[in-house]
Amino acid sequence: MIESALLMFLFLFLSGFLGALILTRIARRVAQEVNLTAPVRPDRLHREVRPYGGGLAIAATLVIFAAPLLFLYCYSGTAKHLFPSMLLFLAAVPFFIIGLLDDRYAFPAAPKLGLQFLAAAIAVVGYGIKATVWLDAPWAGEVVSILWIVSVVNAYNMLDHADGLAAAVGIVAMTALGLGQIPHFAMGVPYVPWLAFLAAGALAGFLVYNFPPAKLFMGDAGTMLVGFLLAGLTIQAQYYHEGQTPSRLVVLIPLAILAVPLFDMVCVTLSRIRRRQNPFRGDATSHLAHRMLARGWGPRGIVAFAAAASAVCGGASVAMYFLSGPALLLPWMAVAAVLVAMLAVRRLPRTEAAQ
């Protein structure tokens, strides 16, 4: 069972990779033709205008490969999962549109955040993409889910300030989510690992063009789409199986999978507040890549560090499915070690910190 599932997921990953590899070249040309480009800004690391288009390629890959394959798979295997999986795709559309419009017209932070909350509310209340919390109040799960979606979307969006960073972290996070679901594939929600591996492949195909020095960017259309899929899939995934999973604390696994982007968002926000800056306005000193460049890291080294940090957290998240009691502290200690390492590399050199 597990062997056949692994082969299927490898096929999905390769399909997404090859599809994005082809479509990213096309999307880059389209973005250039319609002037969908990223201007040079103080809070971004590129020094010349470059096209967006990565989000278009990733979205097209998911639609082309996911829609027919998902329908055939669910119809022939577990048809009950077809409807909720399609709802997830429908709920992703507003985030993609908001991001695409933001790439074109550069919305102010406040209206964009308001639109994100509206899209999240539609996903949760309208499409039923919400977490189950062990509380009597039904609204508690809806509130938690809306806050989770908006937080993950913005955390992932913040990673797109340096070449290859968001794509690399997204690949690892999607892969970790998918791998963790495999042992209980038949009992869980089959389309969660299915879509996770397909998205991971699409991000890998895009990374070929986005690896430093990048030929194009993912843009908000891509980061909001992928960010929502990460949030939505982690909500819809099933972590605890009665009699199969040792501990109920596995429900905290999404925090481990997304520890790197969430922690960086917290650090960036606190850094701006400490300097009495608007926490929603971009700057050239707060993000992980900005701090690492100031310490002498190169662009590729930054991507490698972020990917390795995400891999440790992702590996820890997979281990959590099989541990309980004191042993469960071990993977969380690994996650904590990653966060300490991130704090260490975020420290500015003394000369810059004194300015």
Whether the predicted pLDDT of 352 surpasses 60: no
Whether the predicted pLDDT of 72 surpasses 70: no
pLDDT digit string (tens) for 123-159? 999 999 998 766 667 788 899 999 999 999 999 999 9
pLDDT digit string (tens) for 234-291? 999 988 766 666 677 888 999 999 999 999 999 999 988 988 888 887 777 788 888 9
Given a contact cutoff of 8 angstroms between Cβ atoms, the answer to whether 345 and 291 are in contact is yes
pTM for this one? 0.92
Whether the predicted pLDDT of 354 surpasses 50: no
pLDDT digit string (tens) for 12-51? 999 999 999 999 999 999 999 998 988 776 656 666 778 9
Mean pLDDT of 86-90: 89
R_g (Cα) of the chain, nearest Å:
20
Burial grade of 139 (CB within 10 A; 0-12, 13-18, 19 or more): exposed
Percentage of residues in the chain having pLDDT higher than 90:
62
Write 305-310 long-range contacts (CB < 8 A, 24+). Answer: 305/345, 306/159, 306/165, 306/168, 306/169, 306/260, 307/168, 307/169, 307/171, 307/172, 309/260, 309/338, 309/341, 309/342, 310/168, 310/169, 310/172, 310/173, 310/176, 310/259, 310/260
Confidence of residue 76 (pLDDT cuts 50, 70, 90): low
Burial grade of 193 (CB within 10 A; 0-12, 13-18, 19 or more): buried
pLDDT digit string (tens) for 323-342? 888 999 999 999 999 999 99
Instruction: Give the pLDDT score at 355.
Output: 45
DSSP code, position 280: T
Percentage of residues in the chain having pLDDT higher than 70:
86
Domain membership of residue 235 as a residue range: 2-353
The beta strands (E) that lie in 12-85 are given as: 37-38, 50-51
Q: At what angle do helices 191-210 and 219-236 cross, to 10 degrees?
A: 160
> Which SS3 state, helix, strand or coil, does residue 242 take?
coil
- Give me the chain's average pLDDT, please: 88
Given a contact cutoff of 8 angstroms between Cβ atoms, the answer to whether 325 and 247 are in contact is yes
Total domain count for the chain?
A: 1
| Pair of tokens at residue 116 | 């994100």
